[in-house]
Structure 1
């Protein structure tokens, strides 16, 4: 006698991890058809126009507000500032224009009593 239960061969296995989107597609089409039927089969008619109620407003009072702000005192002070003078010697005949920068003298005499903090230059 032959035992057929042990001699079974599997020629095809079904992969159950992947699911077909066909159910979603059919469900979506059914919902669209249902929505179209509801819109197409519904008839809305205006049987009476609307009217707003009459409203009367009397009296009233705006709220009282007390606001305290900071006092700011502005002042002015007259300061004399020296404007620098610039002496430029135009180039002589036959002299290049690039050499013109060598002939510029700037004299600045600053003697103002101002509270200014300067940061030192960083090279």
Structure 2
């Protein structure tokens, strides 16, 4: 995959992620009208192949190790600062999505 294709895939993935996140947080409301009908599907012939899958194995564990860790003494002071806040107002079902 070249750099241009990779960039397009990343942009599309970010857009989809933002849309899903926005919907999950209630930032927009989607309303639909009408009946949902699945298509009729007919299958004839064919054969299901036999498949044998061999998988690798991943072992996760721990072991003892000696590492150098710096000993740092830190002193702190308390100060009052402005911190950012976030208010999320979910979309209501006021019918505006149907216009």
Q: TM-score, normalised on structure 2? A: 0.24
The structure having more radius of gyration, on CA atoms, is: 1
Question: With CA pairs under 8 Å and 6+ residues apart, which has the higher RCO, 1 or 2?
Answer: 2
Q: TM-score, normalised on structure 1? A: 0.19
Answer 1 or 2: which has greater strand percent: 1
